[in-house]
Structure 1
Amino acid sequence: MNKKKLTTIVTAAVMGTMIVIGGTLAWFTDKGETTNVVTFGNVDIKLEETQKDGNLSEKGLKFENIVPGDKFKKDPTITNIGKNDCYIRAKITFTEGAPIGADSLDIKSAEWKKGSDGYYYYKGVVKNGMNVVLFNEVKIPGELGNNVADKTFNIKVDAEAIQSDNFEVNFESDTPWGTTPITAETYKEPTK
């Protein structure tokens, strides 16, 4: 055989072998796939008070035949029923012309900070299932006179919550949640 024919046969054999090996390598493939599931948590609170029977209820309380100097139990209890830890703030408002103000409430100042925006800010993170009480008692001043006889007024408590993760709070500030408007889901205590 001449050299040229031998080179052609060897080249053809090498090429054929490479095609067979290349074709065989095509069978060694792999594929991977994954699906990531992202589920958002939530912030959810419940505002309740202890009723006369000792049970908590979301209904407001009604107090009758109150006289100057009386004290009565009123304990707005805010519970974190959401999946995520949160910060809580509450605002207390009184019917216009009410004979009392926030100074008649035993607000737990060691736990709550009054902001310049009128909110009371709970000074810590409220974990899932945890509850906090804003105040326990209302004290009616003994100096009130006949000008309040047969009068009615409301004490309204609104509570709001925001996630604690990735939210910065500054309890040294007069507005611990900052000045950026926050649209929080609000739970209002019913008034009677």
Structure 2
Amino acid sequence: MNKKKTTVMIGAVLLCTALAVGGTVAYLTDKDEVTNQFTVGRVEIEGKEPGYTPDPSGKTEDIVPTEVIPKDPQITNIGKNDAYVYMDVSIPVAKVITVDEQGKRQNDGAAKETELFTMNELSEQWTLMYQKRVGDNMVYIYSYNDILAPQETTAPLFQSVTFANVVEGQLEESQLDIPVNFYAIQSLNTGEGSSVVEQAADAWLKYVNQNDGQAGEAAAPLSLSDEQDETEESQAEELENAAVENDSDRESVTSETE
């Protein structure tokens, strides 16, 4: 098989924080002359992929079928408050012909809708809350299984991605994006449930409801796996419409692969 060029944007990293406020707020009692002031904390996160090493141009060039590319997204809490943290990953999907390890064409040689990358070594410290096809991507949204304290860092969601074993002549000179978005929501008084996983899902749903109708790149009301079928249609609509970006806390890190 000839080695053909494919361009892939491996990391487009967006940081979002939700339910975060800063500054000083006054709590007024029933008497005007009695005022208690409280300094409000801050939810702030930093997303990194320390294992990803692009070329000097910011790209990883000339990738080939079945190539494994290091990519290890993780979140550090650099704010002042405990937080639930989340990631969403968008894997590009295309109708392509693939082959197995022996070079035999799959699906009787017919082109099939295929996720072009596979996430490797998924961490058990993250829980998949939702997945849905959105446009030309399959979007996966995960929550972390523990509340993230200030200065703590999560385990990487995964360690690398593998490019699909695609028959040549289908994706040459293409650019494929794999964006990863990071989110944080203050954990105090936002999520209900008997476990952190349930609390994080509840907090996320409140976040989505709070920002209903505002455009965003990737967010959804997350259901646990056994509820997905019952709510699929409504979730798909909200996935496209229900996110909000906090521009003051946004950071974009782009790494590309060719």
- Contact kept, 8 Å, 1:86 with 1:125, in 2: the verdict is yes
Aligned: 1:93 with 2:59: no
Is the alpha carbon distance of 1:175 and 1:166 closer, same or farther for their aligned partners in structure 2, counting shifts above 3 Å? closer
Could you say what secondary structure the match of 1:179 adopts?
helix
- The residue number in structure 2 matching 1:68 is 65
Question: How many residues are matched?
Answer: 152
Partner of 1:8: none
Inter-CA distance 35–174: structure 2 relative to 1 (3 Å threshold): closer
- Structure 1 partner of 2:253: 190
**Which is further off, 159-168 or 103-112?**
103-112
Give yes or no for contact 1:89–1:160 (8 Å, CA) kept in 2.
Answer: yes
Identity of aligned residues (%): 27
Classify 1:130/1:139 alpha carbon distance in 2 versus 1 (closer, same or farther; 3 Å): same
Checking the alignment, whether the CA contact within 8 Å between 1:88 and 1:160 is kept in structure 2 is: yes
Matching residue of 2:130: 116
Instruction: Identify which of 120, 123, 139 aligns with 2:162.
Output: 139
- CA RMSD of the aligned region, Å? 3.3
Q: Which residue matches 2:105?
A: none
Name the structure 1 match of 2:41.
Answer: 41
Ranges in structure 1 where 5+ consecutive residues have no aligned partner: 1-32, 54-60
| 1:1-192 equivalences in 2 (<5 Å) | 36-50=36-50, 51-52=52-53, 62-95=59-92, 97=94, 101=115, 104-106=118-120, 108-116=122-130, 118-132=140-154, 133-141=156-164, 143-146=165-168, 147-170=170-193, 171=197, 175-177=201-203, 179-180=205-206, 181=208, 182-183=210-211, 185=246, 187=250, 189-191=252-254, 192=256
Judging changes above 3 Å, is the alpha-carbon distance between structure 1 residues 102 and 42 closer, same or farther for their aligned structure 2 residues? farther
Q: Is the 8 A contact 2:45 2:77 kept in 1?
A: yes
TM-score of the pair, normalised by structure 1: 0.65
Could you tell me how far 1:177 is from its partner in structure 2? 3.4
Q: Structure 2 length normalisation: TM-score?
A: 0.50
Give deviations 1:113-165, integer Å, cap 9, x for gaps: 11136421111111111112222101123x31111232220100111100111
Q: Is the 1:159–1:188 Cα contact (8 Å) retained in structure 2?
A: no
Residues 67 and 103 from structure 1, CA distance in 2 versus in 1: closer, same or farther, beyond 3 angstroms?
closer
Answer yes or no: is the 8 Å Cα contact 1:159–1:187 preserved in 2: no
Relative distance call for 1:88 and 1:166 in structure 2 (3 A) is same
Structure 1 residues 174 and 44, CA gap change in structure 2 (3 angstroms): closer
Separation in structure 2 between the aligned mates of residue 103 and residue 173 of structure 1, nearest angstrom: 30
Q: CA 1:123–1:75 in structure 2 vs 1: closer, same or farther (change >3 Å)? A: same
Q: Which has the higher strand share?
A: 2
Alignment-mate amino acid for residue 49 of structure 2: E
Determine if contact 2:117/2:163 at 8 Å carries over to the other structure. no
Tell whether the 8 Å contact from 1:160 to 1:187 is kept in structure 2 after alignment: no
Using CA pairs below 8 Å that are at least 6 residues apart, which structure has the higher relative contact order? 2
